[in-house]
Amino acid sequence: MSLRAFFSILRPVNCAMIGFAVIVGIFVSKPPSLHVESLALGFVTGFAICAYSMVINDYYDIEVDRVNQPGRPLPSGAISTSAALVLAMVMLAVGVLASVVLFNLAAVGIVLLYALLSWLYNFRAKKYGLSGNVIVASSLAIPFIYGGVVSGGSVTSSLLLFMAATAFLSGVGREVVKAMADTAGDQKRGIRSFAIVHGVKSAAALGAGFFLASVVSSLLPLLLISVSLFYRVGVVVPDIVFIYLAYAILRKPTGEGALKVKTRALLGMLIGLIVFIGGAF
């Protein structure tokens, strides 16, 4: 297994964002005391479970990727399926162990739920289109809640819940748009994505709608609760990104356009994470 193939199948940027989302959840929940080990173990848990889900995704998608992305590690032969399974189990074990070390039963339960949803999505739910998109998007919201749980702070913090909702909505939008670029391979596996069932133009409209809904969700704290000046000013940046992405996919509702939008959506999410953590102070 080459180092390049290893990083490609793990998607470390995506995993780091999930780990960082846990840290954001810790800060926003305003724990009575902040411990470095909680931050470190929380990040490791988020990163490892996300890595597990990424590898499992590629394992189940190998036939789809032979059509859509033949250069991916598994269809190209850079990594064997058996090696991928071992890597997935190692990542799962690391994530679960990191949560166990925190001595928090609720945290372990959330990690196991996250892992179960990841497997369920790839094994079965992905074939059902929008419901599968919702499962994936929930994995973007769960890290914020997990951070609140492991910190011992307030899981019901209004800002924390708004952040989880914003991540969820933008995640559904990205997944709906992402599927627009995968129709050829998805049809091969029998996946009934929204784009396949209703057409790419309808999928573009739905994806854009979720992007705009995430913008509304991110702005509601300005009207309903007290937030920092950093959040009030900074939230404009990711919101502009997602408004543009909604416009971009509506203007060019094609597989090529979808690929660009799904990549840029990650940038918007990363900026959003930075704004979220600034909102904790």
What's residue 123's pLDDT?
82
Query: Where among 110, 127, 152 does a domain terminate?
Result: 152
Pair (146, 169) in one structural domain: no
Q: 147 and 168 share a domain?
A: no
Q: Are residues 89 and 162 in the same domain?
A: no
Based on the domain organization, do 126 and 188 belong to the same domain? no
pLDDT band per the 50, 70, 90 thresholds, residue 38: confident
Name the token pair of 246: 């909604």
What token pair was written down for 91? 């990542």
Looking at residue 28, its amino acid is V
Number of domains in the chain: 2
| Whether residues 201 and 141 fall in one domain | no
Within this chain, do residues 59 and 102 fall inside the same structural domain, yes or no?
yes
Domain holding 259, by residue range, is: 157-281
State yes or no: pLDDT of 32 exceeds 70: no
Domain boundary among 120, 136, 152: 152
- CA torsion angle 21 116 85 121 (round to 10): -90
- End residue of a domain, out of 101, 129, 152: 152
pLDDT confidence bin for 36, thresholds 50/70/90:
confident
Whether 105 and 196 map to the same domain: the answer is no
Q: Is 190 exposed, middle or buried (0-12, 13-18, 19+ CB in 10 A)?
A: exposed
100 sits in which H/E element: helix 81-101
Q: What is the CATH number of the domain that holds 224?
A: 1.20.120.1780
User: Is there a single domain that holds both residue 52 and residue 108?
Assistant: yes
- C-alpha separations of 155 from 49, 114, 167, 203, 269 in Å: 21, 17, 16, 33, 21
* Interatomic CA distance for residues 278 and 235, integer angstroms: 10
Question: From residue 66, how far is each of 73, 158, 188 by CA, in Å?
Answer: 10, 44, 10
* 10 and 123 belong to one structural domain: yes
What's this model's pTM, rounded to 2 decimal places?
Answer: 0.85
Contact 132, 126 (CB under 8 A): yes
Amino acid at 54: M
Can you tell me the distance from the alpha carbon of 17 to that of 9, in angstroms, rounded to the nearest whole number?
16
The pLDDT > 90 percentage for the chain reads 40
Please indicate, yes or no, whether residues 148 and 164 belong to a single structural domain of this protein: no
Other Cβ atoms less than 10 A from the Cβ of 195: the count is 28
Residues 228 and 112 placed together within one structural domain of the fold: no
For residue 245, what are its two tokens?
A: 């992405």
